[in-house]
Amino acid sequence: MSVIVFGSINMDLVARTPRIPVPGETLIGHSFETVPGGKGANQAVAVARLEIPTALIGRVGGDAFGETLLNGLVSSGVDCQGVLIDRTTHSGVAIITVDDASENNIVIVPGANGHVDATDVDRLPAILSGAKVLLLQLEVPLPAVVAAAKVAKQAGLTVILDPAPARSDLPDQLYPLVDIITPNQVETSQLVGFEVSDLTTAQQAAQTLHQRGVGTVITKLGKAGALCMTATETFEIPVFPVKAVDTVAAGDAFNGGLAAGLAAGLDLRPATRQAAAVAALSVTKAGAQPSLPTRSELDDFLRSV
């Protein structure tokens, strides 16, 4: 395996609505769909669609969603031998509202993802041989995330942490285990405890995260692109302008594109460019996993810009 993803698997229950309802309001939606998602699963699919060998470690529940999710992952080319069917609970679900302006909000009920623990990390060493990158997010319990990062770091993998969903309580011991962290603006603000709203504050936040021990900080700034700060250089990652239909999983697409690029031997700059292109393509289509581009779609897009 070149890339191992340790993380969540969800069924997304997606309602399209004219706008995001306010508290206490009932709205009539335009449509409803169930779509495979979950940050871990999305990132694994993003990498696998770019034809990089990918394995996922996580859990689904012993329900119909679990079966559908596993089948979808396998047919996207993700090795799911490390995915446990946890019959004590339901599969993770994300209840998503997407409005006419392509804005969304998401409620997650973790189910099986919430049961991920050290026993799941025990499945990691068996697939480490040949692996280059471990991708982590925060939709499974933190102790398991830290334990997985430790195992991968000791084995010499590049550890990428997408600190999503946002939280402010990451343990100090996690930061030095992370080679690359990829927060968006909200997540960065939560991590550092001050508002990140532009390139200047993003730079200050990246310095704070460096001081905590992270190697490289890539701060995603939405339409303003991203800022990458390593120990030796700082550069901006421009966005590819596209017409956005649905931004769900854009962050996952970015992380998948980055991990795939690094696993394929790209240097950081071209890998971040690939990440931005995969993210751009993902927002042109609806849904989480259905929006993630294939290698040939990515190559065609990069030739056209």
Binding site for ligand RIB (CB under 6 A): 10, 12, 37-39, 42, 94, 106, 108, 139, 248-249, 251-252, 288
Q: Shortest approach of ligand RIB to residue 249 CB, angstroms?
A: 4
Phi and psi at residue 232, to the nearest 5° = -120, -15
Q: Shortest approach of ligand RIB to residue 165 CB, angstroms?
A: 8
Beta bridge partners of 84: 59
Contacts of residue 69, Cβ cutoff 8 Å, sequence gap at least 6 = 9, 10, 11, 36, 38, 41, 60, 91
Residue among 38 and 82 whose Cβ is closer to ligand RIB? 38
Residue whose CB is nearest to ligand RIB in the complex, by number: 37
Q: Shortest approach of ligand RIB to residue 77 CB, angstroms?
A: 18
The strand pair at 158-161 and 180-181 is best described as parallel
DSSP-based three-state secondary structure for 162: coil
What single DSSP character describes residue 112? Answer: G
Structural tokens at position 167: 């939280």
Nearest partner of 153 among 84, 213, 209, judged by Cα: 213
Residue among 190 and 203 whose Cβ is closer to ligand RIB? 190
Q: Shortest approach of ligand RIB to residue 107 CB, angstroms?
A: 9
Q: Shortest approach of ligand RIB to residue 32 CB, angstroms?
A: 15
Active site residues: 252
CA atoms within 13 A on the CB side of 285: 15
Largest CA distance in the chain: 52
**In whole angstroms, what is the distance from residue 20 CA to residue 99 CA?**
6
Residue among 240 and 254 whose Cβ is closer to ligand RIB? 254
Residue among 27 and 106 whose Cβ is closer to ligand RIB? 106
Residue among 38 and 257 whose Cβ is closer to ligand RIB? 38
Q: Shortest approach of ligand RIB to residue 29 CB, angstroms?
A: 18
Residue among 82 and 251 whose Cβ is closer to ligand RIB? 251
- The residue behind tokens 């939405």 is 222
**In whole angstroms, what is the distance from residue 243 CA to residue 123 CA?**
41
**In whole angstroms, what is the distance from residue 272 CA to residue 254 CA?**
8
**In whole angstroms, what is the distance from residue 35 CA to residue 104 CA?**
15
